[in-house]
Amino acid sequence: MTDSRTHVETQILSVERPFRFESGDIIPRLDIAYETYGSLNERRDNAVLIEHALSGDAHAAFYHEGDRKPGWWDCMIGPGKAFDTDRWFVICSNVIGGCKGTTGPSSVDPATGKPYGLTFPPMSIRDMVEVQRILLKHLGIDKLKCIAGGSMGGMQALQFFCDYPFQFESFICIASAMKHSAQQIAFNEVGRRAIMADPRWNGGNYYGAAPPEGGLSVARMIGHITYLSEQMMQEKFGRIRKDKESRAVFRPSFEVEHYLDYQGVSFVKRFDANSYLYITNAIDNFDLRSSLSSRGRFRGHGRQRGQHMEDMRSKRGLVISFTSDWLYPSSQSKEIVQFFTALNVQVSYTEVATEHGHDAFLTDYHQPSEIIQGFLSSLSEKSPSPCRTSIGS
């Protein structure tokens, strides 16, 4: 086999009607970038929705023509992998507010003919979910086997599952939280401040000019520190210096400085600074519990709480955390388990031992793959119909 690589292209769904945000703001039209892997069966009941994290996109798996690197979760999605594309029809789309094909602050506002910039409405995790509902409708899928994601992807999975429990048989939430802690908000805020302190940011109005690369790369550098564990950083870089001869003052000299610099520089090539602001803002404002009980809630199935809870009963959930993840510590995953267990969702929880910190959700695929495969298989065996009746009834 010379080329076992499977190629894929990002599709764009153009929605030529207004989209209303949770905030009440409206944009006149919307693009949704998405990819699919595997095939939808005749009963249209083998779909799995994958949710990406802060810097992810619709390209979750396989290769784009001419690319050397596959999608961001290729280790988990593909034939025989955790999300086995021989069995499941896997869908992933770029979030609203992003910059990888779905409408966001860098998209052109039809009203002005210019990019939205900061006139783009502030969006929430729930808005991300609503946009994906439009996509699912377009694909003709009502009921999904599973919704899965890590980090911010886990938040979307939880929100989607809670707002529309009748659409899903199960959820998988990896290295995520019910809401951000003060520390998590603080790190995001430092990242946002770095962007906004860059004079090139210019109040978000930099399209057509030089983007605030300095600020965005600092934001990414901070992010990367929080994604790794102290131990892993020490093992990988220690105090090794790259150019011992260099006499220049305050130039990157330690290996770790070069690493962060590289991460920052490569990020600015592929990411929009305003999207970074909007998405981190959505993450910080996410609070699952209060979003489900808030009075102003106008979306989601079952506004009367009782009906809503009944839909969740006996659904299945899987929560995974990583021992060395200090950004999204296991205690936050355990809180998710307790929350859903109290709602009678059948939730399993496992903590994977790893040194790779928060990044483990993207890199440590071996143990999670076994678990996820087992979980998804047990779903199809145990409950042939996507909507099980509740236990004891």
Partner 1 sequence: MVHKISSQNYPIIQEWIDRGSRVLDLGCGDGSLLEALVNTKQVDGIGVEISHDMILKCIQKGICVYQADIDKDLSEWVDGSFDYVVLNATLQVITRPYKVISEMLRVGRFAVISISNFGYARNRMRVLSQGRVSSRVRLSGCWHDTPVLRFVSIREFISSLEEIGVEIMDARYFFPMNIVSRSRWPLYNLLAREGIFKLRRA
Q: Name the residues that contact partner 1, by CB under 8 A.
A: 316, 318, 334, 337-338, 341-342, 344, 346-353, 367, 370-371, 374-375, 377-379, 381-382, 391-392
Nearer to partner 1 by Cβ, of 202 and 344: the residue is 344
Nearer to partner 1 by Cβ, of 285 and 369: the residue is 369
Q: Active site residue: 106, 358, 359, 364, which one?
A: 358
Nearer to partner 1 by Cβ, of 99 and 336: the residue is 336
Q: Active site residue: 57, 74, 272, 325, which one?
A: 325
Nearer to partner 1 by Cβ, of 231 and 341: the residue is 341
Give, in order, the Cα–Cα distances in Å from 315 to each of 5, 22, 230, 277: 35, 26, 37, 34
State the minimum distance, in angstroms, from the CB of residue 25 to partner 1: 39
State the minimum distance, in angstroms, from the CB of residue 389 to partner 1: 11
Report CA Rg, the chain: 21
**388 CB-contact burial (10 Å; exposed 0-12 / middle 13-18 / buried 19+):** middle
Distance in angstroms (rounded) separating the CA atoms of residues 76 and 337: 23
Nearer to partner 1 by Cβ, of 124 and 330: the residue is 330
Q: How is residue 152 written in tokens? A: 């911010």
Q: Active site residue: 151, 176, 321, 330, which one?
A: 151
State the minimum distance, in angstroms, from the CB of residue 163 to partner 1: 23
Residues 6+ apart with CB under 8 A from 331: none
Q: Which of 124, 101, 110 is nearest to 18 (CA)?
A: 110
Q: Any catalytic annotation for residue 224?
A: no
Distance in angstroms (rounded) separating the CA atoms of residues 86 and 78: 8
State the minimum distance, in angstroms, from the CB of residue 310 to partner 1: 14
**Which single residue is written with the structure tokens 């809503």?**
308
Q: Any catalytic annotation for residue 325?
A: yes
Q: Any catalytic annotation for residue 301?
A: no
Helix (H, G, I), strand (E, B) or coil at 63: strand
State the minimum distance, in angstroms, from the CB of residue 315 to partner 1: 11
User: Which residues carry out catalysis?
Assistant: 151, 325, 358
